[in-house]
Structure 1
Amino acid sequence: MSHTPMVLAVVPLENRFVRLEPLTASLEGEVCAALDCDAASWDIMVAAGYGPHFGGWWASALRAMAQGTRIAWAVRRREDGAIVGTTSLYEIKPDYRRCEIGSTFYRPEARGGPVNPSCKRLLLGHAFDGGAVRVEILTDAINPGSQAAIRKLGARDEGVLRKHKITFKGRIRDTAQFAVLDDDWPAVRARLDARLAAFG
């Protein structure tokens, strides 16, 4: 059994389509503008980041980064330099070499193209390169679109955690849990690389 520690560096990550930039004070305005849309999508999230909710969301993200339990990134689209959303590695547990991908939001015009698979490829690569043995991806059990996207990545469906979280609107939510293990990563990586190669 390997006892290599998991160390996840707070660094920018980039590929052909996106550049992930760790949240810093200089990005606050751009991130705020990027997240201030599509209230209906935020409605099912545990924490909202749009409009009047942004200040609390931003402070919470920076606090978790300072504590080392989360790395939050702004998602910059390489094509035009625009920040189109945010994503994180969080619930970082070095002792168990485990973390989650989540707190992900993209502007509507950035959905359905290369942005999400690009982000997942970078985040999974960063986690496994940093020594993770397990990366979890959780989503709301009432969000079939998100679940389908996670399955398409090649993450393994691990069932539903009942009454697992409470959204900012007060709904007690069931959580659909998926995970990619270090054993799964080569096949998942190959699948993601093939998908990204198909985007011209």
Structure 2
Amino acid sequence: MRLDVRPLENRWVRLEPFTPALEHEARAALDCDSDAWDVMVGAAYGPHFDGWWASALKAMEAGTRIAYAVRRLDDGAVVGTSSLYEINPPYRRCEIGSTFYRPEARGGVVNPACKRLMLGHAFDAGAVRVEIVTDAINPRSQAAILKLGAKAEGVLRKHKITWTGRPRDTAMFAVLDEDWPEVRDRLDARLAAFA
């Protein structure tokens, strides 16, 4: 599995790998909805942005993460971020996560459009497993992941520590290579409804 670091685009969004030129737009997109950050492992709003940004760039240099700014194509605005991370080429697996969208970008086409691009990129590169995880106390996120077609695999207790210091139980979901054709078709049909 070899994941190229390059922009990914469809009719609705363009995923742009982090570069210094995107820092200002990413900061502006993420500096909102402080309550939503409470269930995240790391925070990127306000004073938390600089450390989060530096960490993302460092992981990109190490080849363990591709962090994307999510640009909505109908207005050109950066409305959030998502990443392919925990990239493990020998095991042909990665994770989609560190996803945050501005409130006005939630619940519509942005999330399924982003996940379609990232899942396609991973499986085209030879992945056999793509994980999507979320905080076990976040039912909205879990419902969105299931709606994508990922399969629930259980809860890992005290799996991560959030930036607030709270031990986090992680709800695990995954799409396997044999699941991908059905998940892809389902996402494509869902996205067609937005056309």
> Normalised by the shorter chain, which TM-score bucket?
over 0.9
Task: Tell me, in whole angstroms, the C-alpha distance in 1 between the residues paired with 2:32 and 2:126.
Answer: 36
Task: Tell me, in whole angstroms, the C-alpha distance in 2 between the residues paired with 1:20 and 1:179.
Answer: 21
Q: Number of residues paired by the alignment? A: 195
- Residue identity opposite 2:169 in structure 1: D
For the residue of structure 2 that corresponds to 1:89, the secondary structure is: strand
Q: RMSD across aligned C-alpha pairs, in angstroms?
A: 0.4
Residues 128-154 of structure 1: CA distance to partner in whole angstroms, max 9, x if unpaired?
Answer: 000100000000000000000000111
2:39 matched residue in structure 1: 44
1:182 matched residue in structure 2: 177
Task: Tell me, in whole angstroms, the C-alpha distance in 2 between the residues paired with 1:126 and 1:189.
Answer: 12
How many Å apart are 1:44 and its aligned residue?
1.1
2:14 matched residue in structure 1: 19
Q: Please show how residues 72-151 of structure 1 align to structure 2 within 5 Å.
A: 72-151=67-146
Residues 103-138 of structure 1: CA distance to partner in whole angstroms, max 9, x if unpaired?
Answer: 000000000110000000000000000010000000
2:26 matched residue in structure 1: 31
For the residue of structure 2 that corresponds to 1:132, the secondary structure is: coil
Q: What is the TM-score normalised by the length of structure 2? A: 1.00
1:3 matched residue in structure 2: none
Is 1:196 aligned to residue 184 of structure 2?
Answer: no
Task: Tell me, in whole angstroms, the C-alpha distance in 1 between the residues paired with 2:47 and 2:24.
Answer: 14
For the residue of structure 2 that corresponds to 1:95, the secondary structure is: helix
Give identity over the alignment, percent.
Answer: 77
- Residue identity opposite 1:160 in structure 2: V
Structure 2 unpaired stretches of 5+: none
Structure 1 unpaired stretches of 5+: 1-5
Q: What is the TM-score normalised by the length of structure 1? A: 0.97
For the residue of structure 2 that corresponds to 1:191, the secondary structure is: helix
Which 4+ runs in 1 deviate beyond 6 A? none
